[in-house]
Amino acid sequence: MIHKIGLIGFGTVGRGITEILRDKKDYLKERYGFEYKIVAVADFAYGNVYNEDGLDMDLLLKQAENKEKFTRDLVSLSTLELIAQSNVTTWCELTYTDLETGGPAVEHVRTALRAGKNIVTSNKGPAALYYDEMMALAKTHNARFLIEGTVMAGTPTLNLADGPLAGNTIRKAYGILNGTTNYMLSEMEKGMAYEEVLAKAQKLGYAEADPTGDVEGYDARAKVTILANIVMGAGIRISDVSVEGITKITPGDIAEAQKQNKRWKLIGSVELKDDGSIEAYVKPMMIDLSHPLAGVMGATNALTFSTDLVQDVTIVGPGAGKIETGFSILTDLLRIHKGY
Ligand code: HSE
């Protein structure tokens, strides 16, 4: 079958997956028999375009890079109408994350699933706030709701727990889950000022649309919630995870850590305790330089699963970035393809 892919949101990640799909078309067909067309793109800044035979992605990429509105294949359908009425088989929801309401992504996801269309998303809103509802909708309408990119971009975490690690009981998941703050802490150690490094992280495409979500720890809190519920079946709400970001860390704190042979890291953790309770938090911690997490620098993330059968399994890799998060979308698209 030829997959008909639609993108909601044509920002950093939307353009990242588009470039991957354009550049690896032959490889993906030859290696996996994965054939596709991008038939729809909905973006509130550039417009909604649809062509059931496939869009001119080079043109859309060029126009978006130049911050120009789309000109070809424009439709007057609203985004929700396009989601429900097009011939798209899998929608990639790549709009900005809103961790208060989940919107507008949550409505996009509901509409797609109700229409029996698969959703692949790196948007943390629907996954952290409405996972059970979305999975129930997917089941009812015989569609998939896949969210690998919500935690550590394209570095496998959720699919790792669900795939190769299946059969283990995972009692704890912890690590560095936010690329922006890890990058900032790394650069601040070199003497760069807080505002300067934050601006750089935004320019590199690591930070959320509103970077408060990164520096206050809310982004990492969403990821802890997702890990708790999906990997550990904890059934917690985002508000059950205590949170403290990096905004109060001063150059003096950084110097103090260095003096003690330590380094600040923003750690996210969820643990199933022996009494059945769940302990979940995000907070800055001074980590001994000899600890493996201390060596994880820049926008790189790291996550350790504490399991019953293979003890601690740690995965280290990119936690943000255009192509790195774009790959998380590809990995779930391939999961859908393999399921056919
Ligand atoms: N803003 C996020 C980060 C992007 O810095 O990790 C990936 O979720």
Q: Give the pocket of ligand 1 (CB within 6 Å).
A: 153, 178-180, 206-208, 214, 219, 319-320
SS3 of 151, please?
coil
* Sign of the four-CA dihedral 4, 127, 158, 178: positive
Q: How far apart are CA 61 and CA 67, in angstroms?
A: 10
Strand order in the sheet with 35-43: 47-50, 35-43, 2-8, 90-93, 118-121, 145-146
User: Are residues 233 and 246 in contact, defined by beta-carbon separation less than 8 angstroms?
Assistant: no
Helix (H) or strand (E) holding 301: strand 300-307
Of 5, 299, 240, 270, give the one whose Cα is nearest residue 161: 270
- Residue 204 confidence class, pLDDT cut points 50, 70, 90: confident
Instruction: Find the Cα–Cα–Cα–Cα dihedral 246, 149, 8, 11, rounded to 10°.
Output: 50
**Mean pLDDT of the 244-248 span:** 97
Helix (H) or strand (E) holding 316: strand 312-318
Ligand 1 site-directed mutation target among 152, 158, 180, most atoms within 8 Å of CB: 180
Does 205 score more than 90 pLDDT? no
Q: How far is the CA of 154 from the centre of ligand 1 (A)?
A: 11
CA distances from 332 to 156, 211, 284 (A): 11, 26, 32
Question: What is the domain class of 2-151+322-339 according to CATH?
Answer: alpha beta
Does 81 score more than 90 pLDDT? yes
pLDDT in tens, 98-144: 999 999 999 999 999 999 999 999 999 999 999 999 999 999 999 99
Does 236 score more than 80 pLDDT? yes
| Cβ neighbours of residue 337 closer than 8 Å, sequence gap 6 or more | 3, 32, 33, 34
Q: Residue type at 102?
A: G
Does 340 score more than 80 pLDDT? no
pLDDT at 206: 87
Of 249, 242, 266, 88, give the one whose Cα is nearest residue 176: 266
Q: How far is the CA of 83 from the centre of ligand 1 (A)?
A: 26
Q: Where are the domains of the chain?
A: 2-151+322-339, 159-318
User: Are residues 234 and 207 in contact, defined by beta-carbon separation less than 8 angstroms?
Assistant: no
pLDDT at 208: 84
For domain 159-318, give the CATH number: 3.30.360.10
Q: Of these residues, 117, 223, 262, 265, which one is catalytic?
A: 223
pLDDT at 166: 97
pTM of full prediction above 0.75:
yes
Cα angle 104, 322, 287 (rounded to 5 degrees) comes to 95
Which DSSP string do the residues of 173-235 spell out, in sequence order? Answer: EEEE--HHHHHHHHHHHTT--HHHHHHHHHHTT-S-SSTHHHHTSHHHHHHHHHIIIIIS---
Q: Residue type at 116?
A: G
- Residue 291 confidence class, pLDDT cut points 50, 70, 90: very high
For ligand 1, atom 7, which residue shows the shortest CA distance? 320
For ligand 1, atom 4, which residue shows the shortest CA distance? 320
CA distances from 65 to 14, 229, 327 (A): 12, 37, 20
Q: Is 259 a catalytic residue?
A: no
pLDDT at 207: 87
User: Are residues 282 and 224 in contact, defined by beta-carbon separation less than 8 angstroms?
Assistant: yes
- 303 token code pair: 């996550």
- Residue 31 confidence class, pLDDT cut points 50, 70, 90: very high
Q: Residue type at 289?
A: L
pLDDT at 319: 92
pLDDT in tens, 152-194: 999 999 999 999 999 999 999 999 999 999 999 999 999 999 9
Which DSSP string do the residues of 236-258 spell out, in sequence order? Answer: --GGGSEE--STT--HHHHHHHH
Q: How far apart are CA 42 and CA 115, in angstroms?
A: 17
pLDDT at 40: 98
- Residue 209 confidence class, pLDDT cut points 50, 70, 90: confident
Of 34, 22, 41, give the one whose Cα is nearest residue 88: 41
Mean pLDDT taken over the chain: 96
pLDDT in tens, 247-273: 999 999 999 999 999 999 999 999 999
